[in-house]
Structure 1
């Protein structure tokens, strides 16, 4: 055969072989190509979906996208979620984490953790964990959520009931996590998810729940460097108006925000009174459980339709005791100095008689009355705890803990009230310390019973103090008769003494430039008075409404950023 024909034959054979290889490769790849193309398309769509709902770093989006890839082929999955709220030197940071079990080997599990801030609470952290856990789900997926937060479960049940039309009233817009709730509702609707919720007991040894709890903890080494995640509220289509304040999206309605601001304005107005600010200041207010403090003042709701003389008397006494409005000799001397010529205690004649001295005066027996009052308060606490625990009460252990806690309760120096730590005199005035609530939470085993014991004990302590006050009033009436102070004299009202004193003696001839020096003295005095009455923060008068508004806004903004408890106050309550 000629060489030319042989070369042509080789070309024909090679071409046929190439076509065969191409056909085989096409047959082997073509079944996978639609699947891979579909998966890439799904992940691209999922990434846009995640970027639509979350404001965070690219790393967090990639972590969520990786988790979404692993569950993309699943029709259902279970997820253990948890959240935490931790305080770092006055700045609260919330951690959230979840784990999706895939197999018995924990290395195959899908894990996620992140942090968030603004409006800090453990419930919000739990809700954020739930939202991120369902956001990675594929369409028409069944998601079983296992959480140890009953509050978060209740909110999600409310969402599910609302989507099914079971709720006659739309209560979602009235809770404290309005934005998060609406976001969760919209994500469930868009992804057509079927959600089931299971309550698990916290710290009960469940492996995946303990793992989720570890993931939710904020790093103590670099808490402020951890990546943050937040909700993009502009993706909501249910809200026409998104409430914002100082470039922060409010997580509750404008109505609730206005109520909170008004409440803080009047709280500031109350705290900035001279009668209050000398003993409730700086960090002391952070140590007060304000919720229980106000409840202890009112035996029943002020709007209650049932009332009685005893209850009204107790409420009136508690309010006057807290606000230093009891008719003690100190106040009577201010109101009518001509009738009551001194503010010293008429019985011991040593100290000024104010709302605290009436319970610390030892004029009758020479014994410190706080010692007896302390013992009675301890008996009240033990009695109330025994009423609930009954046979479960460890009496000896309770007595030891109370002895340690009330070790310095017999100190009666009123200057102790000026410090940050809450003393027994503060409790007598009406404050309930957080430390006492935490002590009985530990003793009773739960927060609800602990608060109940403290609240009931404070009611009984107030009744005991009221009896002591009535006994003092009887003695004071006898003293008034000895001073020839009659009822008609007291009814005449306050008498202001004539102030005839002047700064200079007009009978002395003024030398040259004396009038200039006098004017300078007057200007200096007026300037000092003005500075004393002026608040340096607001530029307004110290006790004016505008000053209260100024500090209320500062406090509310700090509460949103730093998570200052609504039951306490903060360093923003400092006064000049």
Structure 2
């Protein structure tokens, strides 16, 4: 039992218990103690409440309401010229009621209460055609009398059924003109004054009223994404429910689509606008594909849907999913809406739960290959195999001991890999065949893989020339290595000056091109993890070290995202800025280091020719050749082989070998088979070994 069951509509009086008892299932027994308590504490004489229960109306932008009349001791009559047509959701009946506004009372210390002439929805069509979709007029007629009638109404007694409803629960309904009613061809010869023709459909009004009721009772927020279908216990079984449950895997998406199917089950003609969105360079907080659709011919409902897709991205797949979800919601259906559908599709990429088709349900498909029991191979295997194998390649890449910092940074979500890839392929020079671009690319690769020719690497490769003289050229205390180069105490001031210069340049860049939040640009840069340490003279932050090693971090992407609306604008300005940073690091740190190295090299009496002819000069000297144990350790810990160009680091597990052989184009598999011929350590002990040999001998 709720508050509305025990007080009057105007929130002014407590009902007599005999009135309350009529709505109870068990009507026997004495007056309960809770009623006596309320009567003693919240009422004065004649059951008048001594507390104010006025609740503010929550603003619902999708609902139009009649204006609230001012407080008055008199009854407010709505004359014929000012009469409005309204509707309201009745929770006790789980039904929608229509009516014509007659009078309203708004006494002091009470909420306004309105009295409406009750009208009901009735289909007056004389022609019923079940062989084709059709659009039927929405007509309402006077209620002949029902159990909702308020018997104590004081006023015009000609209406047969009058309802008492809180004024704030009423929503406006738009009726069409008398001429529109005269133009109806499928209505029997009826007096045009005996019915009203509404602008939208009855299911449309029903959804709107029910959702407004939920909003006013704080059961859903007013900005809810999807409308909720009103309860209908006698609703016939929807045949599309089984199709939705069988075709979609995610429970949350199944629930959303079933709810939409329930809302649309009463509609006759549906007109959908669908669209898909594909973004090749999607970021970490969005998926590559999004889709969406919007219902166009029932404007009052604002019914739409959007979602995302994950595997094997393409624009065609996104478009297809938009059409599929629209069809399974309603199996039969029929520019501003194109823009709305496009917006929904783009927003769908931000939905973190991607829609996945259950391939076991497809009757025309006898077999579906799956990778890792997760990714269905719904494309040509030879087209999708590159993506699958890249997972293993990148795994072997970051598992290399010398690249453990990359693995740790990836686990901590510090690196933006999609934009780092674009950065590695970026050409900051005007000429595509520029020698400077080749040097830039070499610098990026060596920085990111810790393969700059520092003294520890030179000593490993040319032990008789360096002779363990690997002391840092800057600090003269610690051994020089790729990592020490960026963390050396003597280079800290140089690096700090570089980051302050970069930070100031970035502030100027953002002030010139930013789309939003111009007043926060200084704080965005100077308080970011990448630059704050330099401005505040703190310890070098790990994301700054990653930038020194030619990786684009999520932190610096966050600075750009705070001031630009599109990823396209970010990429356009970010990559040239990172290119300037890379050149600045190279000129101020590595070039100074090389100048010091040239001085030491001259003191040691070494030249470039000494390194070039090293293996030929010392090939008979056993000291020049490391022991087998050290050689294996060096190969394991230091040697870097790009897994995207070589198969030497691969462990050919059974499933990997099967996929590789079953999808290879043998006319273009030279590198792989050359590796098989040269590798004496591979053995084929699986049952597939005979078939593998047959494949190999083709």
TM-score range, shorter chain: 0.5 to 0.7
- The separation in 1 between residues aligned to 2:527 and 2:486, in whole angstroms, is 23
Alpha-carbon separation, structure 1, partners of 2:625 and 2:513: 65
SS in 1 for 2:271: strand
Q: Is the 8 A contact 1:102 1:110 kept in 2?
A: no
The separation in 2 between residues aligned to 1:62 and 1:501, in whole angstroms, is 70
Q: Is the 8 A contact 1:78 1:145 kept in 2?
A: no
Partner of 2:593: 472
Q: Deviations over 1:157-177 (max 9, x none)?
A: xxxxxxxxxxxxxxxxxxxxx
Kindly indicate whether the alpha-carbon contact (under 8 Å) linking 1:409 and 1:423 is maintained by their aligned counterparts in 2.
no
Any conservation in 2 of the 1:384–1:456 contact (CA below 8 Å)?
Answer: no
The equivalent residue for 2:570 is 450
User: How big is the shift at 1:466?
Assistant: 2.2
- CA–CA distance in structure 2, aligned partners of residues 132 and 398 of structure 1: 43
CA-to-aligned-CA distance 1:17-38 (integer Å, 9 cap, x gap): xxxxxxxxxxxxxx999959x9
- Deviation digits for residues 194-219 of structure 1 (CA, Å, limit 9, x no counterpart): xxxxxxxx7xxxxxxxxxx9xx978x
Match of 1:493 in 2: 614
Structure 1 counterpart of 2:548: 428
Q: Please, which of 525, 545, 551 is the counterpart of residue 650 of structure 2?
A: 545
Residues 55, 229 of structure 1: 8 Å contact kept: yes
Q: Secondary structure at the match of 1:276?
A: helix
Name the CA distance, whole Å, in 2 between partners of 1:549 and 1:493: 43
* Residue of 264, 270, 290 corresponding to 2:417: 290
1:70 aligns with 2:266: yes
- The separation in 1 between residues aligned to 2:406 and 2:239, in whole angstroms, is 60
Task: Find the partner of 1:135 among 324, 328, 331.
Answer: 328
Q: Deviations over 1:363-387 (max 9, x none)?
A: 5xx8722210111221332344355
- Alignment partner of 1:339: what SS? helix
Native 8 Å contact 1:63 1:112 kept in 2: no
- Structure number with the higher helix fraction is 1
Aligned match for 2:506, one of 355, 377, 381? 381
Mark the runs of 5 or more structure 1 residues left unpaired by the alignment. 1-30, 84-89, 154-201, 203-212, 503-521, 523-527, 534-542, 554-576
User: How do 1:211-290 residues align onto structure 2 when only pairs under 5 Å count?
Assistant: 230-232=357-359, 235=362, 243-247=369-373, 248-281=375-408, 283-284=410-411, 286-290=413-417
Partner residue, 1:207: none
**Who is 1:324 aligned against?**
450
Map 1:78-93; keep pairs closer than 5 Å: 78=272
- Name the CA shift for 1:240/1:410 in 2 (closer, same or farther; >3 Å): farther
Aligned-residue offset at 1:249 = 2.1
Contact 1:443 1:450 in 2 (8 A): no
CA contact (8 A) 2:244 2:328 kept: yes
* Residue deviations 1:122-141 (CA, integer Å, cap 9, x gap): 99888645522233445473
1:250-299 deviation line (CA, Å, top 9, x unaligned): 35442342111222222222212221124532654633111221332333
* 1:295–1:63 CA distance, 2 compared to 1 (3 A): closer
CA distance change for structure 1 residues 437 and 252 in 2, over 3 Å: closer, same or farther? farther
Q: Could you list the runs of 5+ residues in structure 2 that have no partner in the other structure?
A: 1-125, 135-235, 278-284, 639-647, 659-698
Identify the residue that residue 461 of structure 2 maps to in structure 1.
Answer: 335
1:440 paired to 2:560: yes
* Structure 2 counterparts to residues 75-114 of structure 1, below 5 A: 76-78=270-272, 100=295, 106=301
With structure 2 as the length reference, what TM-score do the two structures score? 0.45
Which of 604, 622, 637 does residue 483 from structure 1 map onto? 604
Give TM-score scaled by structure 1 length.
Answer: 0.54
Q: Measure how far apart 1:433 and its partner are.
A: 0.8
How many residue pairs match? The answer is 401
